[in-house]
């Protein structure tokens, strides 16, 4: 009977008042609370949230595949009218893989390392579709064809470690669509991919989903751009609550929950720069599940919180097909109040004065290293393969300026940073700190050089010693600094200096006593930044410092960088794979590919054509945080080439969408100065195509909706 109801109303998935809890270390935590969500066939529902929002728990519960310590304590999950929670495992095994499939996040880990990819798909077809050995093999190849995996037979015979993450993600996608399921759950399927690969995968998902009108899709992601580009409807989760649910267009036009607005306000959009726009971070942090605020759980961070918010809000019906868990949604809708966070003080940065002196001067830097050879290879006289991780990079960082370095994984951006710091030995060129040349490795660098040059790493959890308190971590560099140059007139003790540092990164003095394990990701990164600033450096290297952070935290860290830099006038080399972040924070943007720079431009004009074709492709690949935003799709074929292969001509010629012929293969391109009529721009592009031609080709390529 329930079955009938399910097929009648057209809903494939109906989640009703679902509450899922975990028993962890003796404590009970509810990761998902009272969530109701329906997806009809043919619809793609995006599920957005930061870490700890419960989105993955919800996805796993939907698949009825919760870890052992997880329990559904309330609610129902109806799949085509049937409550999955009442099914036995054996019955689930009939549904899994045939009617309900999932594309997981980490493709490499999600495939069996010792079975061929073909077999991993074919086994599903044999089991669920009842195909014979040879039919399953043929069908697998056809599916690989469908997800645009080039040489399908080779892929079929390959093992996971032999292919790139993007290709493995295609295999998993082929697997998930192979049985034409009614429900397809995609759990952050592009999060670990490069932006160019992500764009290709999103195109593919759109095409596949469009071709399966009978399928309901649940697309989970933390990326507001991805969801804008792919979902028909978006549900937003916060700390286990579903806070808003609306058709995509309406959600982005007018969010009716302050948290949604906060998310949209705190992400830098492609094309924005700190000179014009301020990021508005969401104050505070995501509450821990054991210690939820009473009433509305967003209340402590909400700019609109009033007395009514002490009451836990229901999920209000906020107009046609919209829901919001905010007491004040009507006022927001009518424009009486604005849920936008106030612009933080001091975030507005005066444009840096023209750089009078370069802090860092990189001239033709090379980092080549040989791949390891075995004893046998050496006896056989095999020459070691040269890896050109950084291949002739020249770049300057001026005092008080931020140079952003963007590139895909494997582009050599981190190696360049390591070469500056001395962790990767430079094999050619020079790197000067002010006028002093830095020795290639750590050996021979003076204490002064170490002091002047500080680094902030990507993962603060791994760079802070877990056994030292925050105070001890900060005291160490301070003490070394004092030992070298005792402060004139004794301007306070070290403890005061620690407090000052903590205040500079907006942490209270009590944090000095805490251990890194007691801090959140954002707080750890603040401590890491404070530590880097402690010796009063002249140059800061920041290697993907916000990549591992949630967007609401990312914004406040970016503002912090701005603030500290303006105050101390230090030069920063800021490395990131995120063009929007780099374009926002930097004064100068450098684009790197296979160890060579492709384009160097001031940040104001990096988004205006003409571009280097690689920059153009990168820009085109960024999913715009705007469902109406359109860009010409310029997609890169294939993968980043291994830097150990010999490169001739332009390193980008193997993938270049604007490839013009033999000249690209045979000759090293010139650096072309780009001018902009009526503007004072400083931009150069490493390409054979003349400026005017590039301008002509790229004229129509970019149009932002705003």
Binding site residues, other proteins, CB under 8 A: 63, 65, 89, 92-98, 101-102, 104, 106, 109-115, 120, 123-124, 127-128, 159, 161-162, 172, 175, 374-376
Alpha helices of 271-425 — where are they, by DSSP H? 329-333, 375-379, 413-421
Per the CB < 8 A criterion, the answer to whether 244 and 328 are in contact is no
Nearer of residues 93 and 253 to other proteins, judged by Cβ: 93
CA distances to 165, 171, 206 from 141, in Å? 19, 10, 21
- Nearest CA to 643 out of 441, 424, 409, 419 is that of 409
Nearer of residues 86 and 112 to other proteins, judged by Cβ: 112
- Smallest distance, Å, CB 193 to other proteins? 16
- Smallest distance, Å, CB 282 to other proteins? 31
Query: Environment class of residue 107 by beta-carbon count within 10 Å: exposed (0-12), middle (13-18) or buried (19+)?
Result: buried
Nearer of residues 60 and 530 to other proteins, judged by Cβ: 60
> Which of the 8 DSSP states describes residue 96?
B
CA pair distance 245, 683, nearest whole angstrom:
43
115-124 b/e with 16+ CB inside 10 Å = b? ebbbbbbbbb
- Smallest distance, Å, CB 123 to other proteins? 7
Peptide bond into 64 cis (omega under 30): no
How many CB atoms are closer than 10 A to CB 175?
A: 25
- Smallest distance, Å, CB 185 to other proteins? 9
Nearer of residues 193 and 199 to other proteins, judged by Cβ: 193
- Smallest distance, Å, CB 376 to other proteins? 5
Query: Environment class of residue 348 by beta-carbon count within 10 Å: exposed (0-12), middle (13-18) or buried (19+)?
Result: middle
- Smallest distance, Å, CB 471 to other proteins? 37
Which residues, including other chains, have CB under 8 Å from residue 307's CB and lie 6 or more apart?
Answer: none
Nearer of residues 112 and 317 to other proteins, judged by Cβ: 112
- Smallest distance, Å, CB 544 to other proteins? 24
CA pair distance 13, 34, nearest whole angstrom:
16
How many CB atoms are closer than 10 A to CB 501?
A: 24
CA distances to 61, 72, 422, 512 from 523, in Å? 31, 32, 27, 12
CA pair distance 202, 192, nearest whole angstrom:
13
Nearer of residues 60 and 689 to other proteins, judged by Cβ: 60
- Smallest distance, Å, CB 637 to other proteins? 25
Nearer of residues 131 and 431 to other proteins, judged by Cβ: 131
CA pair distance 528, 549, nearest whole angstrom:
13
Nearer of residues 201 and 528 to other proteins, judged by Cβ: 201
- The region that residue 207 occupies, defined by phi over 0 for left and psi between -120 and 50 for alpha, beta otherwise, is alpha
- Smallest distance, Å, CB 161 to other proteins? 6
Nearer of residues 114 and 134 to other proteins, judged by Cβ: 114
- Smallest distance, Å, CB 190 to other proteins? 16
- Smallest distance, Å, CB 179 to other proteins? 9
CA pair distance 442, 425, nearest whole angstrom:
8
Nearer of residues 97 and 623 to other proteins, judged by Cβ: 97
Per the CB < 8 A criterion, the answer to whether 265 and 280 are in contact is yes
Nearer of residues 171 and 243 to other proteins, judged by Cβ: 171
Instruction: Report the DSSP pairing between strands 588-593 and 402-406.
Output: parallel
């Amino acid at each position: 009977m329930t079955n009938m109801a399910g097929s009648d109303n057209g809903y494939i998935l109906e989640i009703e008042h679902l509450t899922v809890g975990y028993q962890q270390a003796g404590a009970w935590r509810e990761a998902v609370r009272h969530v109701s969500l329906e997806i009809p066939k043919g619809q793609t529902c995006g599920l957005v949230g930061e870490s700890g929002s419960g989105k993955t728990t919800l996805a796993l519960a939907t698949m009825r595949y919760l870890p052992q310590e997880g329990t559904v304590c309330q609610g129902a999950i109806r799949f085509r009218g049937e409550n999955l929670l009442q099914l036995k495992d054996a019955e689930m095994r009939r549904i899994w893989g045939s009617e309900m499939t999932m594309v997981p996040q980490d493709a490499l880990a999600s495939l069996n390392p010792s079975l061929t990819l073909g077999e991993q798909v074919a086994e599903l077809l044999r089991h669920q579709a009842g195909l014979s050995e040879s039919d399953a093999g043929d069908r697998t190849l056809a599916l690989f064809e469908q997800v645009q995996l080039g040489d399908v037979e080779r892929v079929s015979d390959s093992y996971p470690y032999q292919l790139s993450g993007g290709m493995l993600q295609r295999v998993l996608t082929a697997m998930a669509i192979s049985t034409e399921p009614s429900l397809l759950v995609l759990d952050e399927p592009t999060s670990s991919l490069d932006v160019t690969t992500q764009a290709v995968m999103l195109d593919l998902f759109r095409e596949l989903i469009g071709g399966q009108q009978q399928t309901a899709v649940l697309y989970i992601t933390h990326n507001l751009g991805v969801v804008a580009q792919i979902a028909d409807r978006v549900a937003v989760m916060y700390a286990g609550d579903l806070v808003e649910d609306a058709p995509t267009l309406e959600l982005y036009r007018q969010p009716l929950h302050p948290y949604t607005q906060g998310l949209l306000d705190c992400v830098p959009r492609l094309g924005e720069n700190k000179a014009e726009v301020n990021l508005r971070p969401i104050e505070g942090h995501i509450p821990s599940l054991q210690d939820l605020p009473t009433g509305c759980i967003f209340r402590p961070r909400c700019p609109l919180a009033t007395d009514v918010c002490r009451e836990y809000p229901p999920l209000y019906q906020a107009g046609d097909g919209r829901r919001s868990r905010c007491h004040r949604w009507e006022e927001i809708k009518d424009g009486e109040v604005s849920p936008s966070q106030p612009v933080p003080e001091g975030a507005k940065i005066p444009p840096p004065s023209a750089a009078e002196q370069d802090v860092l001067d990189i001239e033709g830097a090379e980092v080549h290293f040989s791949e390891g050879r075995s004893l046998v290879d050496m006896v056989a006289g095999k020459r070691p393969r040269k890896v050109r991780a950084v291949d002739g990079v020249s770049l300057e960082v001026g005092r008080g300026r931020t140079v952003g370095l963007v590139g895909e994984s494997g582009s050599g951006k981190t190696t360049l940073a390591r070469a500056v710091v001395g962790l990767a030995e430079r094999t050619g060129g020079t790197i000067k700190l002010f006028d002093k040349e830095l020795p290639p490795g750590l050996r021979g660098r003076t204490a002064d050089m170490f002091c002047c040059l500080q680094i902030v790493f990507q993962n603060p959890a791994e760079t802070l010693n877990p056994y030292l308190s925050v105070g001890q971590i900060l005291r160490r560099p301070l003490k070394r600094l004092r030992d070298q140059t005792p402060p004139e007139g004794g301007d306070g003790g070290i403890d005061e200096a620690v407090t000052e540092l903590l205040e500079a990164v907006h942490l209270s003095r009590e944090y000095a006593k805490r251990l890194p394990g007691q801090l959140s990701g954002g707080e750890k990164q603040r401590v890491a930044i404070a530590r880097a600033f402690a010796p009063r450096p002249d140059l800061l290297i920041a290697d993907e410092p916000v990549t591992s952070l949630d967007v609401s935290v990312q914004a406040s860290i970016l503002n912090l960088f701005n603030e500290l830099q303006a105050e101390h006038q230090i030069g920063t080399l800021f490395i990131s794979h995120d063009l929007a972040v780099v374009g926002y924070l930097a004064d100068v943007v450098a684009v790197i590919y296979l160890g060579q720079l492709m384009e160097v431009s001031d940040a104001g004009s990096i988004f205006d054509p003409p571009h280097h074709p690689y920059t153009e492709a990168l820009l085109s690949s960024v999913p715009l945080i705007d469902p109406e935003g359109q860009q010409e799709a310029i997609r890169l074929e294939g993968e980043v080439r291994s830097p150990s292969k010999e490169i001739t001509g332009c390193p980008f010629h193997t993938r270049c969408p604007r490839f013009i012929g033999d000249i690209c293969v045979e000759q090293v391109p010139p650096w072309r100065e780009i001018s902009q009529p009526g503007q004072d721009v400083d931009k150069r592009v490493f390409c054979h195509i003349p400026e005017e031609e590039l301008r002509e080709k790229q004229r129509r390529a970019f149009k932002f909706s705003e």
